[in-house]
Structure 1
Amino acid sequence: MVDLGEVKEQLTHVLDPEIGINVVDLGLIYDISEPRDGQVNIKMTLTTPDCPLHEGFLDAVEGAVAPVNGVEYVKVDVVFDPPWTPDRMNQDVRKQLGIQ
């Protein structure tokens, strides 16, 4: 069994290269689950469907999670429903970016 808390912690090391804030605090991670032993499914979104960094984000998320003890396979699904809004961001991040 994989420690999903550790998976989430590892995802805090995946930064948006434009603003240097991690995907968890940006509210881009919608769900983390382990439907079968060793398989981690991550449901995430991007701030826009046309994000030019789409593939890079997927690779970074997979790369951050793969070393976690017990992880044998990482599946990342990018979804846009519900749509991302700044309200999904961590409150401290919103404040840091001047979004109230």
Structure 2
Amino acid sequence: MTIDDDDLVARIRQALKVVIDPELGHNIVDLGFIYDVSVDDGVVHIIMTATTLGCPAAFFLKEGVASSACLVPGVESVDVTMTFEPPWQPSMISPGVRSSLGFAEVN
């Protein structure tokens, strides 16, 4: 990955913040649902998760991620992989959002 790819990854992560989890009401980046974003010649690979394996919003979230990433200049195509390894847990939420959701501080 080049410096330009690093910038593109940062812009993609920012774009993904428009995707809001309907249950938790916060964006999927701050919720820790995005495990990895990589770029290879304009092709974006995103690995993401949801709160649980049977999450009814998983398809909605995956489609939102693909659509949002496609809008970023420099993105040719997007491949989104949904995984549940490692399982998502509240400690993955950014501290400010975790606090607003009422989760105790994780040490």
TM bucket normalised to smaller: over 0.9
TM-score by length of 1: 0.94
Map of 2:24 onto structure 1: 19
Tell me which stretches of 4 or more aligned residues in structure 1 moved more than 2 Å. none
TM-score by length of 2: 0.88
Pick one of 41, 48, 52 that aligns with 2:45. Answer: 41
Structure 2: stretches of 5+ with no match in the other structure: none
Provide the alpha-carbon RMSD of the alignment.
Answer: 1.0
Residues 15-72 of structure 1 show CA distances to partners (whole Å, capped at 9, x for unaligned) of: 01123200000000000001x2110000101100001112111110011110111111
> Counting helix residues as a fraction of each chain, which structure ranks higher?
2
Aligned length: 99
Give aligned-pair identity as a percent. Answer: 41
Structure 1: stretches of 5+ with no match in the other structure: none
